[in-house]
Amino acid sequence: MRELESRKKSGLYKGHFKPQSHFFGYEGSWALPSNFDSQYCYAIGMNAAYLMNKKLSGYMSCIKNLGEQDP
């Protein structure tokens, strides 16, 4: 917040920032993610990064062959 206030004073920032908090009490009580969870989330992140890099929006990411193992 201090950085944005400083930028507003210098005229570099003209936007509005409204942070939202979230309580992770229930979600945070579960076990550590499995290897599958980690690999799945990594793949989704890679797809999202690719779409952002290509400046594409409005697309749905699809991860296939989740049950297959590397040779």
pLDDT confidence tier of residue 29, bands split at 50, 70 and 90? low
Q: Over the chain, what is the mean pLDDT? A: 84
- Rounded to whole angstroms, the Cα distance separating 54 from 31 reads 35
pTM for this prediction: 0.49
pLDDT confidence tier of residue 7, bands split at 50, 70 and 90? very high
Give 33-51 pLDDT, tens digit per residue.
888 888 888 999 999 999 9
